[in-house]
């Protein structure tokens, strides 16, 4: 078991994902971010079926920082209802997990 978690956050585009990610890194709320461009999303929104291209931001952090990540992403995100989902990392490379802990601050 580990304290590491991943936050999954779709963003309007690469620039928004990078801006949010860099802010979290600068505040030591994240150890690393990944950005996946050109995700095709299909969803219901306000009674209509919508489609869009988004960039997915994956944030690598600690479980103890999850609520702060959620609050900060909500402040920085352009969506009125941002998808911010936290997933646990059940286990992993202990050296990487040690590094993640050292790079993030309570």
* Interval 68-99: pLDDT, tens: 999 999 999 999 999 999 999 999 999 999 99
Is residue 13 within 8 A of residue 55, CB to CB? The reply is yes
* Assigned architecture for domain 4-92: 2-Layer Sandwich (3.30)
> Tell me, what's the pLDDT at 2?
80
Domain boundaries, the chain: 4-92
The sign of the CA dihedral 65, 70, 72, 76 is positive
DSSP state of 80: S
| Average pLDDT value for residue range 14-30 | 98
Alpha helix positions (H), 41-85: 66-76
Exposure of 14 by Cβ count < 10 A (0-12 exposed, 13-18 middle, 19+ buried)? middle
| Cα separations in angstroms, 5 against 10, 47, 69 | 16, 33, 11
> Tell me, what's the pLDDT at 1?
54
> Tell me, what's the pLDDT at 28?
97
* Interval 26-73: pLDDT, tens: 999 999 999 999 999 999 999 999 999 999 999 999 999 999 999 999
Name the token pair of 73: 């992403």
């Amino acid at each position: 078991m580990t304290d590491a978690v991943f936050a999954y956050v779709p963003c309007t585009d690469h620039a928004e994902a990078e801006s949010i990610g860099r802010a979290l890194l600068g505040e030591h709320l994240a150890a690393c971010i990944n950005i996946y461009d050109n995700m095709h999303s299909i969803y219901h929104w306000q009674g209509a079926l919508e489609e869009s291209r988004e960039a997915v931001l994956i944030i690598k952090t600690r479980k103890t920082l999850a609520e702060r990540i959620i609050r900060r992403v909500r402040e920085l995100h352009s969506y009125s209802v941002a998808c911010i989902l936290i997933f646990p990392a059940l286990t992993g490379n202990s050296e990487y997990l040690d590094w993640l802990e050292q790079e993030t601050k309570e």
